[in-house]
Structure 1
Amino acid sequence: MPAKRRSTDERASGANVSDDLYEEIDDEPFDEDEYEDEDEDETPRKKRSRALSAMSAGEVGQRHIAALTGRTSEGVTQVQPAEDGWLVQVEVVEDRRVPSSGDILALYEAEMDMEGDLLSYRRLRRYRRGRGDSSEAS
């Protein structure tokens, strides 16, 4: 079976087709002459980095904090672009109590690069659930 290659139009349109459909390569050696370049003067495209959006950065940061602390995450409270990545703040339940209004929560901050790799994390503060945050305006 001959090799199937994705056309330039399909790549540019971002067609949502599984890459494995285009990677069915036969056992015959690759023949460069079989595939002509549209413009030989065109420089090769740089490999795109897999930079995260703010939404993705929040999700990735939340997973990092939950994995490192071994605690249940309540949610992401802040996602902020940093010089070379993202700062994500995550609220975590550190100690469950009955009733839940007595839970001890903590706010953690994860610093990640643009691809979502964790560079550092730290606990910013601990507090009891339901206790007003003095840093927020009422």
Structure 2
Amino acid sequence: MEGLIGHPTEGVSAVRRTDDGWCVVVDVLELPRIPDTTSLLASYEVQLDQDGELLEYCRIRRYRRGSADE
């Protein structure tokens, strides 16, 4: 993911099988700040085919580290 959008990956928060392959939600660090709890992260939904090749991706959420989901 880092090669695609230029931000370091923090982790994977979801993986789901689809009819065409896989849907993966990847969390990335978009804007590091000090203190770290104020850094901005984003979740990207990534669509992969049956062989793991990228079909598409899009940012679905941007949030501050440590903030709770609503």
* TM norm. shorter chain > 0.5: yes
Deviations 1:67-109 (A, max 9, x none): 1111111000001001110000000000000010000000001
Higher strand share goes to which structure?
2
Larger Rg: 1
Number of residues of Structure 1 aligned to a counterpart in Structure 2: 70
- Distance of 1:84 and 1:66 partners within structure 2: 24
Task: Tell me how far 1:112 sits from its aligned partner.
Answer: 0.5
- Aligned mate of 1:115, from 32, 51, 57: 51
- Distance of 1:67 and 1:75 partners within structure 2: 15
TM-score relative to the length of structure 1: 0.50
- Aligned mate of 2:18, from 64, 71, 82: 82
What CA RMSD, in Å, does the superposition of the two structures yield over aligned residues?
0.6
Q: Structure 2: 5+ residue runs without aligned partners?
A: none
Runs ≥4 residues deviating over 6 A: none
- Distance of 2:52 and 2:63 partners within structure 1: 28
Q: Does residue 127 of structure 1 match 2:63? A: yes
Higher helix share goes to which structure?
1
Q: Structure 1: 5+ residue runs without aligned partners?
A: 1-64
**Whose RCO is larger (CA < 8 A, sep 6+)?**
2
Match of 1:102 in 2: 38
- Distance of 1:109 and 1:66 partners within structure 2: 14
Match of 2:7 in 1: 71
Matched residues, percent identical?
46
TM-score relative to the length of structure 2: 0.96
